[in-house]
Amino acid sequence: MWGLAVLLSKQGVHAQATAWNAPSVAVGQWRSHLPFGRVTCVEKVGNKIFAGCGAGLFVYDLEDESLERITRVNGLNDVEVAALSYSPAYQTLVIAYANGNLDLYKNGQIETLDAVLKANVPVGKRIRSIRQADRFVYLCYGFGIVELDLFKTEIRSTFVIGPQGAYLGVNALVEMEGKWWAATDSGLYSAPTDASNLQSFEFWTRDSYWGKKPFPSLVIYRDSLVSYQGDSLLWYKSGGHRMMVVNAGSPNLFLGVSGGQLQVVNTLRAVRLDEQLQFNNYPIANESVRPTCALYDSYQVWMGDDGGGLFRFTPWEYFRYLPEGPTTNKVFQLKANAGGVAVAGGAYQVGSGFGNTFDPSGASLLQINRWKALNRETIRGVGNLYDVIGALPDPNRVARVWLSTWGRGVAMVEGDSAVIFNDSNSSLQPQQGTTGTFRVSGMDMDSRGDLWMSNFGTARPVVVRRANGLWESFGAGPQTELLDMLVDRLGNKWMRNRNGGLVVVDASNTRYVNVTNAEGNGGLPSNQVISLAQDRDGSIWIGTSEGPVVFYNPSAVFRTSFNATRIKIRQEQFVGYLLGTELIQSLVIDGANRKWFGTANGLWLFNPECTELVQHFTMANAPLPSNSILALAIEPSSGEVLVGTDKGLMGFRSTSTQGADQQEQVQVFPNPVEPNFEGLLSVRGLVTDAWIKVTDASGALVYQTKADGGQVSWNLRDPSGRRVRSGVYLIHSVAFDSLDLSAQTIVAKAVVITGQD
């Protein structure tokens, strides 16, 4: 107990949509694709309403009616905001996160206090509530109470108030009649406010009337202590007790006092209790999933929702505020192509027989910088859609998206309606031993527009829907429980085997082979295969639980003896295998043929040959919400790398894009370059791997390089490393390495304003 106290005491939307070819971030920058719909807390600061959610914060300005997002990308130090509290005296907004981390936001600056995050406590660090008391702020956690000094911006002390100094979850803390009152997981506790040592449990006593009844919340209203139980309010004053039903049958979830009135939120709606103890029920919004919190502001109520965003109720109407983003932070699989970006939010139970989780999250589709929800609430004709584990935009039909499910078959979504495919209208079959359970674990579309699927647990698990709408299915020998699907450029189908290794079915669908860790039969470093990708040269890269390998000649797997190649790489004075024994949870290839690997220790980028590390992103040097990278995809036109973590989705705009067949729509950005610009000037829409030379207006060479796929980026410096002067610069596409301008084509012009003469 005292060790914890010492440790803590010493440490201190309305944006217009733009096409994919003009994303809202510059090359080398990150953006958030986290959901803003799950609002956990609301606070008013001046003319701004702050809403805390999984992505961070979004702020509604009452004056200009704008929405601003504040995330790890632009200032916050964490994700999953769980509580907010503003101190007018110190003009400080306390931002508390679910993991125990704290940010203090003052005068546009953010200071982090990570003492609770780093503290060694065996119980939950999730913040439960915040109590303001002038200079001090009291933070309630699963282990007790932490006292924060706003003047010194440091943790002052810790109160562990359970019997005999045991950790006890504190849900709320208030002060009344010379006592501190703490609502805990095991009763209502109190201590004199003038006690000599509130850090000692001996000064805290449990109220005998309520016994060990849990108190989920506690406020003071009309000189009474108020909490709730089920659908009723509990009132307690000077030994008197009473109960008051709010909305019968709807359990209460939140209790607060704002604007001088009591705010109650239950599973149905927000309710205001005025000074005459009259209930004022606010409307039930159609878009609401489940209310979470409420704040009364003069004549209106701001209500947070667990999925619907932020609602504003006035006496006449209601408004909804929800910044762009996917509907869930769950990322099971990512796919990106010319049809858009799709993220599947379902899952199956890997550790318990591959059963269902019955997750209703569905999928989200990103097109033209706008997110669209694809679930049973937004799509007609899907019924009880659950466990969507794959989503594939159709690159040949922009309005069509394919959803694979762990139990319901495949859904073909067009607009807001869908067709479900199962054994009644396709070659899909139910899992052996079941009736009506159609598990489709993977999808991929070949160059002809044929959609290939893995039909898990069936005698003919390789299924195809031809571009003309005809269906077929094929066997893979005794292997029936196949996961994922990758169709290589030769038409071979690569699938993970639940029992270990891979199964590859050839282009004619007549031969199959098992790829394992056995020598001569694949030589994989581990039979636990997790991820697959094909690079620009046609090589197949395999991510295993003990590092990556590559098949440079994929057809070799049909020979009598074959092995994958494990790449060796030099790191300083040492030579070892690429990424050692890292768990390769995901991998993807960019337009420059570079390899991106997602691991439990961040995101890694290597050159095309995987002999040099280009970048390694972690939470320490990038605004990632987590170091566990579960899924990766790259939007081909913009080069944005979609990074799916176990806490949500981020995007990084890399220097590489997919190359064009012909240079018809070359774009330069930013153009013009303003004097204070410190990023990269980029040119995209180039033919694959074009040589680029940049000259000034007189023809003098200032920069040359080879494009990363279809894009090149320049730091606005000349060969000597000096920033170039203001002027017009010409970008030449070069057929070969030559300074003869007659052998070059001017593809674009850039205006640079640097402030240099």
| pLDDT for 732 | 87
Report angle CA 546, 329, 217 to the nearest 5 degrees: 120
Residue 744 pLDDT greater than 80, yes or no: no
Q: Put the strands of the sheet holding 727-734 in their side by side order.
A: 701-706, 691-696, 727-734, 744-752
SS3 of 593, please?
A: coil
Cβ–Cβ under 8 Å, residues 663 and 618? no
SS3 of 183, please?
A: strand
Per the model's pLDDT, the better-predicted residue between 637 and 598 turns out to be 598
Among candidate residues 375, 379, 378, 377, the one with its CA nearest the CA of residue 387: 375
DSSP state of 156: E
What distance in Å separates the CA atoms of residue 600 and residue 626, rounded to the nearest whole number? 9
Query: In this structure, what token pair is assigned to residue 3?
Result: 């060790």
Residue 665 pLDDT greater than 90, yes or no: no
Cβ–Cβ under 8 Å, residues 464 and 446? no
What distance in Å separates the CA atoms of residue 75 and residue 104, rounded to the nearest whole number? 11
Q: What is the 3-state secondary structure (H, E, C) of 644-669?
A: EECCEEEEEECCCECCECCCCCCEEE
Residue type, 583: L
- Cα-flanking dihedrals φ and ψ of residue 183, to 5°? -85, 120
In this prediction, residue 22 has a pLDDT band, given cuts at 50, 70 and 90, of very low
| pLDDT for 614 | 95
Residue 741 pLDDT greater than 60, yes or no: no
Query: In this structure, what token pair is assigned to residue 253?
Result: 């979830």
| pLDDT for 748 | 84
Per the model's pLDDT, the better-predicted residue between 550 and 672 turns out to be 550
Cβ–Cβ under 8 Å, residues 9 and 155? yes
| pLDDT for 66 | 93
Residue 298 pLDDT greater than 90, yes or no: no
Among candidate residues 136, 182, 137, 147, the one with its CA nearest the CA of residue 162: 182
Cβ–Cβ under 8 Å, residues 346 and 354? no
What distance in Å separates the CA atoms of residue 641 and residue 652, rounded to the nearest whole number? 5
Residue 4 pLDDT greater than 60, yes or no: no
| pLDDT for 11 | 31
Q: Which residues, 6 or more positions from 344, have their beta carbon under 8 angstroms from its beta carbon? A: 331, 332, 333, 334, 363, 388, 389, 390, 391, 403, 404
| pLDDT for 529 | 97
What distance in Å separates the CA atoms of residue 320 and residue 331, rounded to the nearest whole number? 26
Among candidate residues 53, 31, 32, the one with its CA nearest the CA of residue 42: 53
Q: Are strands 562-563 and 521-522 parallel, antiparallel or unpaired?
A: parallel
Across 114-122, average pLDDT: 88
**Any bridge partners for residue 159, and if so which?**
145
List the single range of 146-155, 213-222, 640-649, 735-744 with lowest mean pLDDT.
Answer: 735-744
Cβ–Cβ under 8 Å, residues 623 and 650? yes
Question: What does the pLDDT look like over 589-636, one tens digit per residue?
Answer: 999 999 999 999 999 999 999 999 999 999 999 999 999 999 999 999
Cβ–Cβ under 8 Å, residues 18 and 324? no
Cβ–Cβ under 8 Å, residues 584 and 547? yes
DSSP labels, 98-149: TTS-EEEEETTEEEEE-HHHH---SS-----EEEEETTEEEEE-SS-EEEEE
If one counts every other C-beta atom within 10 angstroms of the C-beta of residue 289, the result is 15
Residue 644 pLDDT greater than 50, yes or no: yes
| pLDDT for 302 | 97
In this prediction, residue 480 has a pLDDT band, given cuts at 50, 70 and 90, of very high
Residue 490 pLDDT greater than 60, yes or no: yes
What distance in Å separates the CA atoms of residue 258 and residue 277, rounded to the nearest whole number? 15
CA distances (Å), 750 to each of 23, 69, 398, 710, 718, in order?
19, 31, 33, 18, 15
Cβ–Cβ under 8 Å, residues 480 and 463? no
What distance in Å separates the CA atoms of residue 17 and residue 370, rounded to the nearest whole number? 7
List the single range of 264-278, 510-524, 578-592, 725-739 with lowest mean pLDDT.
Answer: 725-739
Consecutive H or E run containing 3: helix 2-10
What percentage of the chain reaches a pLDDT higher than 70? 95
Question: What does the pLDDT look like over 188-216, one tens digit per residue?
Answer: 999 998 887 888 888 899 988 888 989 99
As a CATH number, domain 667-752 is: 2.60.40
| pLDDT for 755 | 65
CA distances (Å), 453 to each of 39, 390, 473, 505, 508, in order?
37, 11, 9, 12, 16
Residue 49 pLDDT greater than 50, yes or no: yes
| pLDDT for 132 | 92
DSSP state of 708: B
In this prediction, residue 239 has a pLDDT band, given cuts at 50, 70 and 90, of low
In this prediction, residue 16 has a pLDDT band, given cuts at 50, 70 and 90, of very low
| pLDDT for 465 | 98
Residue 739 pLDDT greater than 60, yes or no: no
What distance in Å separates the CA atoms of residue 287 and residue 313, rounded to the nearest whole number? 13
Query: In this structure, what token pair is assigned to residue 163?
Result: 């019997």
CA distances (Å), 664 to each of 164, 609, 654, 661, 687, in order?
76, 30, 22, 9, 9
| pLDDT for 219 | 95
In this prediction, residue 667 has a pLDDT band, given cuts at 50, 70 and 90, of confident
If one counts every other C-beta atom within 10 angstroms of the C-beta of residue 280, the result is 14
Q: Are strands 701-706 and 648-653 parallel, antiparallel or unpaired?
A: unpaired
Domain ranges of the chain: 667-752
| pLDDT for 14 | 27
In this prediction, residue 657 has a pLDDT band, given cuts at 50, 70 and 90, of confident
Across 49-67, average pLDDT: 95
Question: What does the pLDDT look like over 548-595, one tens digit per residue?
Answer: 999 999 999 999 999 999 999 987 667 899 999 999 999 999 999 999
Question: What does the pLDDT look like over 23-45, one tens digit per residue?
Answer: 567 889 999 999 999 999 999 99
Consecutive H or E run containing 705: strand 701-706
Question: What does the pLDDT look like over 59-78, one tens digit per residue?
Answer: 999 999 999 999 999 999 99
What distance in Å separates the CA atoms of residue 755 and residue 753, rounded to the nearest whole number? 6
SS3 of 79, please?
A: coil
In this prediction, residue 6 has a pLDDT band, given cuts at 50, 70 and 90, of very low
| pLDDT for 367 | 92
In this prediction, residue 13 has a pLDDT band, given cuts at 50, 70 and 90, of very low
Share of the chain residues as helix, strand and coil, in percent rounded to the nearest 5 = 5, 50, 50
Mean pLDDT, the chain, whole residue set:
90
DSSP state of 142: S
